[in-house]
Structure 1
């Protein structure tokens, strides 16, 4: 499947980070919007599978279809740019600055949120026949997810916040591994297999993904979930964004860059 060695695909990671920093505002927003929308649809798909089958493993095994689609189409998730964009600054690429990284992250956040919010509205309409009926079983489940993963964390105080943060770190360790895995192969089959494995792990383990949550929680509010927008922001989205940033940049981006791109000198054997 045309596997690339680590030194080769990490070079592609740095190149991708540079490309994202230099991309126009229009293209950045369009690609982020579509990524948020497709991932949101995949989340709705997975929850529907879980409700209809009663088996969350099946939902986790099939959720990656959305992730694979959006990356094969060249769209961008916040979790991916957390990992890739800073590498261009680390490598001192021309025009790569921390200000540019912040701009890229901000635009991708806005685009992802807008795309996920659109799908949240569309699916809420479907689950309630245009808000004329109570939510169906899938809509009720989405509302309960919003409650358990906002006020549920808040009920545990700082221990809940720590748990949320660690789940977000672990999430983007896996998700960014999926982003990088797509660069390990030059064939579609190889890319899909590489992406599928870590994304299945993240979803089944219930880790916190900032873009998936941009769909689940606004949708939950529309469907009668017993939590507020402030609960969502303070007890999920903002800590999740921070944890995703730490997880992707620390355990994937900086790690691979430091050991496969800026390799330390070899030991001299006497």
Structure 2
């Protein structure tokens, strides 16, 4: 597997964050667009498997194929740059500013959303034969997901909002661990295995991923599911983005950076 020690791969994380901040606007948006599109296609794939087999674990086992593909191709998800870009700022890399981090986040958000929206339209078109009939079982299932994960949270008020935020945190704890997984090995099989495990956990546990939701919820709206754009933004996307940000930084970025880059001196051994 050619495993890298934590001190090595965390340094790679900081280097990656720095490179993303200085990447051109064109390349940042293209890579984000493709990442959003591939992850959306993987979500469609997983929902199709769930509908056809009735076994969600099978969909969860196979969904990571999209995540693996997009990271092996060097594309970027918002959930990943939420963790990587701030590390370059924290490490005081030359020329890295808060404005640069926010610019990177904004461009990746736009690119991810555009890519996911493209696949959402394609899915809605395919499952309705060009919007000439009601959606098939997969389309209906995606519409139901949108309703249950907006109106379902709203029905619980503040408790629903808190639940949504925490699910977003838990999601990016796992997803950003998958991003790190791409850096802990120098071989393709090693990278694939390390990425696959945490993504399987997040998907099966139905945690909230901002980019996956950029596909699921607009798809539901195109298929006339019974929730509104405002429901989607307030009762899913915005809290999910904030939860993804908090969870990725707190559980993955800061912990790894603090203990493997800014390591405290070892305690002195007591004399026998």
Question: If the length of structure 1 is used for normalisation, what is the TM-score?
Answer: 0.99
**Deviation by residue 1:122-161 (Cα, 9 ceiling, x = unmatched):** 0100000000010000000000000000011000000000
Give secondary structure in 2 for the equivalent of 1:70: helix
- Offset of residue 269 of structure 1: 2.5
- Offset of residue 265 of structure 1: 1.4
**CA distance in 2: counterparts of 1:265 and 1:83, whole angstroms:** 25
Give secondary structure in 2 for the equivalent of 1:76: coil
User: Cα RMSD between the aligned structures?
Assistant: 0.5
- Offset of residue 74 of structure 1: 0.1
**Deviation by residue 1:32-69 (Cα, 9 ceiling, x = unmatched):** 00000000000000000000000000000000000000
**CA distance in 2: counterparts of 1:47 and 1:95, whole angstroms:** 43
Residue 43 of structure 1: aligned partner: 43
**CA distance in 1: counterparts of 2:3 and 2:209, whole angstroms:** 28
**Deviation by residue 1:146-178 (Cα, 9 ceiling, x = unmatched):** 000001100000000000000000000000000
**CA distance in 2: counterparts of 1:109 and 1:15, whole angstroms:** 21
**CA distance in 2: counterparts of 1:76 and 1:225, whole angstroms:** 30
* Matches for 1:144-155 after TM superposition, within 5 Å: 144-155=144-155
Residue 30 of structure 1: aligned partner: 30
**CA distance in 2: counterparts of 1:67 and 1:245, whole angstroms:** 18
Structure 2 portions without partners, runs of 5+: none
**CA distance in 1: counterparts of 2:25 and 2:269, whole angstroms:** 51
Structure 1 portions without partners, runs of 5+: none
Residue 132 of structure 1: aligned partner: 132
Runs of 4+ in 1 over 4 A off after TM superposition: none
* Matches for 1:124-203 after TM superposition, within 5 Å: 124-203=124-203
1:77 aligned to 2:77?
Answer: yes
**CA distance in 2: counterparts of 1:103 and 1:153, whole angstroms:** 31
Paired residues, number: 270
1:263 aligned to 2:263?
Answer: yes
Residue 122 of structure 1: aligned partner: 122
Residue 10 of structure 1: aligned partner: 10
**Deviation by residue 1:175-222 (Cα, 9 ceiling, x = unmatched):** 000000110000000000000000000000000000000000000111
Residue 245 of structure 2: aligned partner: 245
1:106 aligned to 2:110?
Answer: no
**Deviation by residue 1:196-254 (Cα, 9 ceiling, x = unmatched):** 00000000000000000000000011112100000000000000000000000110001
Question: If the length of structure 2 is used for normalisation, what is the TM-score?
Answer: 0.99
**CA distance in 1: counterparts of 2:144 and 2:93, whole angstroms:** 46
* Matches for 1:207-222 after TM superposition, within 5 Å: 207-222=207-222
